[in-house]
Every structure is written in structure tokens, then in C-alpha cells.
A and B are shown apart, each in its own frame.
Chain A
Amino acid sequence: VDFNALFESLYPSVYRYVLRLTGDADVAEDVAQEAFVRLLRQTLPEDEVRPWLFTVATNLVRDGARKTERRVRLLAGAPPLVTRPMPADEQVEQKESVSAVRIVLDQLPERDRQLLLMREEGFKYEEIARVIGVAPASVGTLIARALRKFTALYEAKEVNR
């Protein structure tokens, strides 16, 4: 299988999954890259690549191995990265919205987050079951419960804003 084709079709998905799971862009880049580096050492049937990548990414996040050494503090005096200019009110609004979603996601149990985020990436129940380690027949029920939890928490958060 061509690496470039795999990378272009799967890297954004793995990155997005980890970013949503952790809320940390640095961790998302590290984990996604590490998963692909490990993939290059594997020989896998094409249809197993995607679940394999997500399993590795999930385990890397779970282990927290990447996070322990990560430094949040920016170099004192270093120039900040330039970001796309956005009107101040939009910035505030977006920041609050993202923060609310992040808080709610973090309130969910880890397994619920993984279930919902893998579903969001379009995984089949059988694949989700394999990555998360649950029975395939239970995935629908677990997702429904997780969605209800998320909705209740999110609505409560929105009312308080």
C-alpha cells in the first residue's frame, strides 16, 4: 500500500481524533506521527490499517507516555506563533464554545469519549469494539448512553453560560 495515499487519507483523521480526545494539539501531532512511524514497521492487510492506527493512538494517549515529557511553557522571550487574525468578539465566542465542549468531553468517562469520537470518525461498530475492547453487540447501547450523557452535560453547560 502506498504510504502517501495512506497518510493523506488517514493522518487527518487520527490527528483529529487525538486532538478531540486530549484537547492538546501538540499531543495530537506527536501521537499521530508516532502511530504512523510504528505503522511503517508493520505489515498489515489494508482493511486493518485504520483500526490498528486508532488502537495505537488510543494506547499512546492512555499511557500518557507522550504527555509526561511535554513542555507547555513557551520559551521566555520567544516570538509567539502567528495566528490567523479574527475579530475580538468572534475570538471570545469561539474560545468559550470550544472550552465548553472540552469541559464536557473531559467529564465523560474515557471509554465514552473514545466510543463517541471513533463513531464521529465513521468507524463501524465491529472496529470500535475491537479498539475499545468491548463486545460488538454492546456498542450501540454504549454509544446511545454516552450520547445522552454528553447531551445532558452540554445542555447544562450552555444554560450556565
Chain B
Amino acid sequence: MNHAGDGLLQAYIDGEVTGEAEAALVAHIGTCATCGQELDELRSAAEMFHGAMALMIGTPALEAARTGILRASRTHDTAIPSIAPKRGGIGRFAAGSLARAAALVLLVAGGAAAIIPGSPLRRWITQGIDRAGAALSSAPPEATPLPPVEPATVERELVPGAGMFIAPVNDQVRVFVYAAGGEGRLTVRLVDASMASVQTDSSARNVTFRRSAGRMDILNLGTSHAEIRLPRTLGAASVEVNGTPYLIKDGDQVRVTGPTVRRTSDEIVFRTGS
């Protein structure tokens, strides 16, 4: 037998040579000093590499990763239709038109009733107006065009599912928001929960989430509205928007450094645009 060669010897070390081939190789190595020496060198190289790799064992945050994967998967599967509902469709158009027509009739009737104080119809009509208003406000966005408002007062509906949870690491959570602009809004709310969470509104079609241990990146927020919910009991937390610190929580202390629109004890609404 000729010399075995590096490839065959390495395959032997790695358990890839079996049966008769292994028997023949072992017999050869026993009689060939060159191959025996080669085998020793390769073994010690493999051991050195293994020892070096033992220095580079990271500890992944398994539970956070598991939760993140399952939630990301659900978000991909279920949230996208609710973020970007299809426009059109006869049924939806008809339902929207009927709702608007009904509301118009009730509004006209309401106006008439309003000029007849004490009319027995007045209460019934008023209740009907309230119900129609409630139905319209809960209808899909395309069926209920919002009246023009000043940018500073724009508030958008937050759609359940278009968001993720963040498991704290060492009782800490960090949130980074990127590409937020225009007249966007960011709400940070202190809540009674064990996990932090992030949710975006129905206009956030391009937003993506990236998560690592105790950290969430919200990419491409644009002018959409995001709400970050931080556990009230969290030891430390921070929120950064487009590279600027907006909020730092240290125990019970909350330091606000970003531009705010309004603030209460449990809720801070930031402006994300320039």
C-alpha cells in the first residue's frame, strides 16, 4: 500500500473510514512510520483546534430565543395581512357603503330630531348615531377615511400581532429604533407585566424586528406609530431612536431625553421626526 495521504488519515480520525478499508489502513499505519507520524500530527492538530474552540463557547439565551422564533414565525404568518389588508372586494365595499349610508340617514334624522325637544324618537335616534359611530370607528382603515388633522395630533390604531415580546436579561431591556422619521410617534408605557413588548400600528408595512438577548431593534419604522411597553418593575431599560437616547429607566427613575409630545406618570409619547 502506498502512503495513505492526509485526506484518508483525516477521514480515519473522523470515523469516516469503516469496514475493510479501515482494517487495511490500520494495518498499513502499523508498518509505515511516515503515515504513523502523519496520523499523530493530524490528531494533535485536531486536538489543538478542539481545545481552542473550547475557549469560544457562547451561552445562548435559549428561552428568549425560543420565544422570539415562535413569535416571529407567528408574526410572519398572521400579522402581515392585518398590517396591510387588501383593498377592494365587493363585500367590503358594499359593507362600507351601507355603513356610511346608514350613518348619513341617522345623522340627517338626528338633525331633525334635535330640533324637536322632547320627541320620543330623539333618544332612539341618538343611540343609533352612537352605535353607527362606534361601528365606523372599528371598521377597517380603508372603509373609514380619517378627516384631515394636524400632523401633531395624528394617532394611529395599534394592531395586535404586529409586534414582539422581549424577555429581559439580567432584569434589563434595550430597544433601538431605526429609520424613524417624518411626523412619527413613539409611545413608551410602563405596564404591570413581566415581559417587555413592542407593537406597531397598521401603517407599519415595512417594519421589521430583530431581537437578541434583552434587546430589540425596530427597523424601518418610518412615520408609523410604535408603542414600547416596559415592565414597571424592570431594573434598567433604555430606548434609542435614530441614534439618539430618548429614555433611560434605572430602577424607579425614568429619565426622558427625547422630544416629547405629552407625558403622564405611566406614558410618554415621543416625536420621532425632526
Is there contact, CB below 8 Å, between A69 and B212?
Answer: no
* Distance between Cα atoms of A81 and B214 in the complex (Å): 9
Q: Across the interface, do A26 and B6 meet the contact criterion of CB distance under 8 Å?
A: no
* A147 contacts across to B, CB distance below 8 A: 10, 42, 45-46, 49
Are B56 and A19 within 8 A (Cβ)?
Answer: yes
Of the stretches B67-75, B79-87, B97-105, the one at the interface is B67-75
Closest B residue by C-beta to A35: B69
A94 on the interface (CB 8 Å rule)?
yes
Residues in A neighbouring B131, C-beta threshold 8 A:
none
Do A144 and B60 form a contact, CB below 8 Å, given A79-B172, A82-B170, A154-B48?
Answer: no
Q: Are B236's CB and A79's CB within 8 A?
A: yes
A87 to B50, CA, bound (A): 25
The interface size bin for chain A is 35 or more
For chain A residues 71-115, which have a beta carbon within 8 Å of chain B?
71, 74-79, 81-82, 94, 97-98, 101-102, 104
How far, in angstroms, from A76 to B238 measured CA to CA in the complex? 10
B6: A residues at CB distance < 8 A: 140-141, 144-145, 148
Cβ contact of A33, chosen from B10, B11, B69, cutoff 8 A: B69
Partner of A151, one of B48, B170, B176, B250: B48
Residues of B within 8 A of A137 (CB): 7
- The reply to whether B10 and A143 contact each other, CB–CB distance below 8 Å, is yes
A125 touches B245 (CB 8 A): no
Q: Residues of A contacting B10 with CB < 8 Å? A: 140-141, 143-144, 147
Distance between Cα atoms of A77 and B240 in the complex (Å)? 11
- When A and B form their complex, which 4 residue pairs have the shortest distance between CB atoms, in order from nearest? A141-B7, A144-B6, A140-B7, A140-B11
